[in-house]
């Protein structure tokens, strides 16, 4: 089954074609970062308008790269939520119109299910059951995944998402939008300066929020205030800024790793999967890899370009559901959407050939 996937929930236009027999055939991404940079964050109306401009050219480009014409498609998947309502509507209207014109089924995909299944785009990925750490700009969740559509929320953030904490802290330190990757890059210099001074750890140690009590919830909103206070009390040099970035990154990634370990212990599951934009963070990946080898469990990550928003994960999740016979019955997008309400799918599409 050959499925076109469209992602337009926020500030990236993503298009991909997933073939259940041959794996990912082609994918393309257009990022709106430059458009929103001067405002320091995503402007929803500008995002919707840009999706309108970019989506059709990207669909044409992706089909051409896959060597396909629209008639070759067996179905169309698009992100139906959660996300910005106007942005979601662009993908949904385009996807449904295309499916209708081709007389093929369409399916609205849950954006976070797309992230959650994205490690399965790799040939060596572990199938469910697994514990999934979903860490993006809008979500921080630990989910027990028994199968496709069988998701139990184990814990989540009570305030800022991990990516949001990265972005807000970066902005506070004067780094350009989007701050998460910039702060992570600056933290690398932090390590160098700390080592140069003969220290083996970051100069700054911030709290590991909510790790001193049982449970799997998170709270990241207090960290940015701790960083701000430390910054104000410091010499405000570039070196100090890098040391602060490292201290912040240490606090977030160690907290995430600690809760992952707890979730693995509590569920008895033997596999950990990481997905979402913060999954691109190298320190987090290193900590979780170390944890996995220590606990003798497996850990899988999406490839770096599929950690952040992309069309491939939507094409894959859509293909999985369409192949199981599910399809849209009504036109609906949902800015907020609980993953626990999704239908279960018993058959997993086979992993792509290496
Ligand atoms: O999954 P995603 O592309 O969009 C959402 O669905 O939210 O995640 C974007 C988030 C942003 O907050 C961004 O700053 C963060 O992921 N991010 C990172 C890194 N790369 C992206 N945070 C820390 N380190 C990174 N290397
Ligand atoms: Zn996302």
pLDDT in tens, 181-221: 999 999 998 876 666 666 656 789 999 999 999 999 999 99
Does residue 69 contact residue 63 with C-beta atoms inside 8 Å?
A: yes
Residues 138 and 99 in one domain: no
What is the atom index within ligand 1 of the atom nearest the CA of 276?
Answer: 1
pLDDT at 199: 63
The pTM for the full model equals 0.94
Residues 151 and 293 in one domain: yes
Q: Which of 301, 320, 349 is the last residue of a domain?
A: 301
pLDDT at 178: 85
Residues 107 and 218 in one domain: no
Kindly give the distance from the C-alpha atom of residue 333 to the centroid of ligand 1, in angstroms, as a whole number: 23
Nearest-angstrom CA–CA distance, 317 and 332: 17
Does residue 282 contact residue 165 with C-beta atoms inside 8 Å?
A: no
Residues 180 and 151 in one domain: yes
Domain span at 25:
2-117+306-341
CA angle, residues 327, 329, 332, in degrees to nearest 5: 105
pLDDT at 200: 55
CA angle, residues 340, 307, 190, in degrees to nearest 5: 120
Pocket mutation for ligand 1, best pick of 30, 277, 284, 304 (most atoms within 8 Å of C-beta): 277
In a domain, 122, yes or no: no
Kindly give the distance from the C-alpha atom of residue 32 to the centroid of ligand 1, in angstroms, as a whole number: 14
Pocket residues: Cβ below 6 A from ligand 1: 10, 136-138, 163-164, 166-167, 178-181, 184, 276-278, 280-281, 308-309
Task: Tell me phi and psi for residue 269, to 5 degrees.
Answer: -75, 155
pLDDT lower than 50: segments of the chain: none
Residues 47 and 72 in one domain: yes
Number of domains composing the chain: 2
Residues 284 and 143 in one domain: yes
Pocket mutation for ligand 1, best pick of 9, 41, 117, 136 (most atoms within 8 Å of C-beta): 136
In a domain, 223, yes or no: yes
Residues 54 and 197 in one domain: no
The CATH number linked to 135 is 3.30.420.40
The closest residue, in CA terms, to atom 8 on ligand 1 is 277
CA torsion sign, 278 to 283 to 287 to 292?
positive
Residues 102 and 132 in one domain: no
pLDDT tens across 299-351, in order?
A: 999 999 999 999 999 999 999 999 999 999 999 999 999 999 999 998 777 76
Does residue 181 contact residue 284 with C-beta atoms inside 8 Å?
A: no
Kindly give the distance from the C-alpha atom of residue 138 to the centroid of ligand 2, in angstroms, as a whole number: 8
pLDDT at 107: 98
Name the token pair of 295: 């606990």
**Full 3-state SS string of the chain:** CEEEEEECCCCEEEEEEEECCCEEEEEEEEECHHHHHCCCCCCHHHHHHHHHHHHHHHHHHHHHHHCCCHHHCCEEEEEEECCCHHHHHHHHHHHHHHHHHHCCCEEEEEHHHHHHHHHHHCCCCCCCCEEEEEECCCCEEEEEEEEECEEEEEEEECCCCHHHHHHHHHHHCCCCCCHHHHHHHHHHHHHHHHHHCCCCCCCCCCCCCCCCCCCCCECCHHHHHHHHHHHHCCCCCHHHHHHHHHHHHHHHHHHHHHHHHHHHHHHCCCEEEEECHHHHCHHHHHHHHHHHHHHCCEEECCCHHHCCCCHHHHHHHHHHHHHCCCCCCCCCCCCCCCHHHCCCECCCCCCCCC
Residues 141 and 113 in one domain: no
What is the atom index within ligand 1 of the atom nearest the CA of 307?
Answer: 1
């Amino acid at each position: 089954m050959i499925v076109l996937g469209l992602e337009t929930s926020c500030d990236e236009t993503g298009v991909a074609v997933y073939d259940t027999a041959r794996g990912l055939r082609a994918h393309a991404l257009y990022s709106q970062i430059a458009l929103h940079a001067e405002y320091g964050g995503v402007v929803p109306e500008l995002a919707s308008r840009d999706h309108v401009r970019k989506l059709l050219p990207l669909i044409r480009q992706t089909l051409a790269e896959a060597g396909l014409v629209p008639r070759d498609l067996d179905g169309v998947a698009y992100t139906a939520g959660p996300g910005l309502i106007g942005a979601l509507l662009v993908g949904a209207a385009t996807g449904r119109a295309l499916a209708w014109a081709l007389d093929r089924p369409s399916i609205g995909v849950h954006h976070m299910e797309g992230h959650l299944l994205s490690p399965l785009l790799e040939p060596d990925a572990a199938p469910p059951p697994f514990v999934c750490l979903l860490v993006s700009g809008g979500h921080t969740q630990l989910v027990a995944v028994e199968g496709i559509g069988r998701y139990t929320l184990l814990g989540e953030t009570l305030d800022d998402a991990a990516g949001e904490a990265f972005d807000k802290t970066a902005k506070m330190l004067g780094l350009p939008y989007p701050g998460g990757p910039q702060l992570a890059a600056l933290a690398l210099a932090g390590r160098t300066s700390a080592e140069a001074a003969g220290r083996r750890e970051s100069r700054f140690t911030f709290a590991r929020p909510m790790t001193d009590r049982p449970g799997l919830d998170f709270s990241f909103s207090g960290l940015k205030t701790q960083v701000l206070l430390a910054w104000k009390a410091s010499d405000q040099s570039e070196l100090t800024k890098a040391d602060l970035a490292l201290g912040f990154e240490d606090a977030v990634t160690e907290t995430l790793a600690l809760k992952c370990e707890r979730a693995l212990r509590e569920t008895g599951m033997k596999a950990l999967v990481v997905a979402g934009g913060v999954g691109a963070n190298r320190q987090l990946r290193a900590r979780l890899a170390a944890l996995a080898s220590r606990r003798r469990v497996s850990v899988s990550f999406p490839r770096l370009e599929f950690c952040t928003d992309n069309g491939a994960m939507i094409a894959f999740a859509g293909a999985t559901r369409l192949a199981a016979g599910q399809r849209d019955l009504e036109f609906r997008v949902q800015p907020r959407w609980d993953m626990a309400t999704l239908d279960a799918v018993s058959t997993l599409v086979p992993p792509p050939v290496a």
